[in-house]
């Protein structure tokens, strides 16, 4: 069965929010922000092929981030083979950064934070693969996450085309689809691991785990208006300079990441009927904001509507 979403029939003021909701339903819980306000063109098509779920996404410039908070709200985990069909993108996971052009792909792990940056309209195919299926083929000592697989590398162009072919394949039996999906995975993992020397499994002492710890500390102190880089660095045994270096690889500063986490939490509570009796200012202040007007402006820039408009709509 195929599902389809488009912003074409949605009013301009609601397009980006509808896209955010749709991407969470079609792929996984994520945060999204965009570089400018106004209309937002997007289209999402999702279907299944054996054990895989394939989602094609076309959208305007956007940054997508999956955080520890998103991960904590879900159970289980999968891998995503993300294929760049058109446009340019930058993907960051566990300190690795993959710059993707059309015809290239990478692998992301839903149990680890990651960020995707697209500065212009983009078209992507996201292939959800059961975790054990990829791990079994790649082996315990091989880490495919956040690595760019280029079309010119031996076998990777063939793997790219095979994944695309699955998305275009007409209907068939479940048994046939499962068999074909397994063969494509065999091909893809063989191509990804052949001759590569940069796929060593990342240990727990790798530097990005410091970033994970800093984010976890900050996420648990978002209600403190005095939360600062110095406090987060001190709690994690690093210097403020090193903290800023860690964030530099994610496309965010510490301050912008904290602000977006606060805004996301405020949005969740403003839209939740459980918090209907709390004022918007009370919710904002409970998550570290100390100026109602500033909060309202930041919220409107981030989500394309005022917090009061969101509450009225959800009611």
Q: Each residue of 52-62: pLDDT tens digit?
A: 999 999 999 99
Q: Is the pLDDT of residue 96 over 70?
A: yes
Provide, rounded to the nearest whole percent, the portion of the chain with pLDDT above 90: 37
- Predicted local distance difference test score (pLDDT) of residue 201: 54
Cα→Cα distances 91→10, 189, 205, Å: 29, 19, 22
Per the rule left: phi > 0, alpha: psi between -120 and 50, beta: everything else, 139 is left
- For the domain spanning 3-193, the CATH number is 2.60.120.10
- Predicted local distance difference test score (pLDDT) of residue 203: 43
* DSSP assignments along 255-301, one per residue: HHHHHHHHHHHHHHHHH-GGGTTS-HHHHHHHTT---HHHHHHHHHH
Domain boundaries, the chain: 3-193, 208-314
Q: Cα–Cα distance between 10 and 19 in angstroms, integer? A: 10
The mean per-residue pLDDT over the stretch 184-213 comes to 70
Q: Which residues pair with 53 in a beta bridge?
A: 48, 128
**84 or 236: which leads in pLDDT:** 84
Q: Is the pLDDT of residue 272 over 50?
A: yes
Q: Is the pLDDT of residue 20 over 80?
A: yes
- Predicted local distance difference test score (pLDDT) of residue 207: 42
Q: Cα–Cα distance between 302 and 145 in angstroms, integer? A: 29
Identify the DSSP state of 142: B
- 208-314: CATH topology: Arc Repressor Mutant, subunit A (1.10.10)
Beta strands in the chain (DSSP E): 3-6, 31-33, 42-49, 52-59, 62-66, 78-86, 89-93, 96-100, 105-109, 114-118, 122-130
Q: Cα–Cα distance between 97 and 290 in angstroms, integer? A: 35
Pairing type for strands 78-86 and 105-109 reads antiparallel
- Predicted local distance difference test score (pLDDT) of residue 195: 67
Tokens linked to 14 = 């609601």
Identify the DSSP state of 30: -
Ranking 46-50, 95-99, 161-165, 181-185 by mean pLDDT, the lowest is 95-99
Cα→Cα distances 51→48, 79, 310, Å: 7, 12, 37
């Amino acid at each position: 069965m195929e599902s389809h979403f488009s912003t074409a029939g949605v009013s301009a003021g609601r397009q980006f929010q509808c896209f955010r909701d749709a991407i969470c339903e079609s792929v996984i819980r994520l945060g999204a922000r965009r570089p400018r306000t106004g209309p937002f063109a997007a289209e999402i098509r999702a279907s299944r092929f054996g054990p895989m779920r394939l989602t094609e996404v076309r959208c305007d410039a956007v940054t997508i981030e999956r955080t520890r908070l998103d991960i904590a709200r879900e159970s289980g985990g999968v891998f995503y083979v993300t294929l760049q069909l058109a446009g340019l993108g930058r993907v960051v996971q566990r300190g690795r950064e993959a710059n993707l052009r059309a015809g290239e792909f990478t692998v992301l792990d839903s149990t680890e934070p990651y960020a995707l940056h697209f500065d212009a309209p983009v078209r992507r195919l996201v292939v959800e693969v059961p975790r054990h299926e990829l791990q079994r083929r790649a082996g315990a000592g091989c880490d495919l996450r956040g690595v760019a697989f280029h079309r010119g590398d031996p076998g990777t162009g063939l793997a790219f085309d095979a994944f695309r072919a699955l998305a275009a394949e007409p209907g068939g039996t479940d048994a046939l689809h499962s068999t074909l999906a397994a063969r494509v995975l065999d091909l893809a993992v063989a191509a990804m691991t052949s001759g590569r020397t940069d796929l060593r499994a990342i240990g727990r002492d790798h530097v990005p785990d410091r970033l994970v710890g800093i984010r976890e500390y900050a996420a648990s102190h978002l209600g403190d208006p005095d939360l600062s880089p110095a406090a987060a660095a001190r709690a994690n045994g690093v210097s403020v300079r090193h903290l800023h270096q860690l964030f530099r690889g994610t496309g965010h500063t510490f301050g912008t990441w904290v602000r977006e986490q606060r805004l996301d939490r405020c949005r969740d509570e403003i839209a939740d009927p459980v918090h209907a009796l709390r004022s918007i200012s009370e919710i904002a202040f409970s998550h570290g904001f100390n100026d109602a007007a500033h909060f309202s402006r930041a919220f409107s820039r981030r989500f394309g509507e005022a917090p009061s408009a969101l509450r009225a709509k959800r009611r």
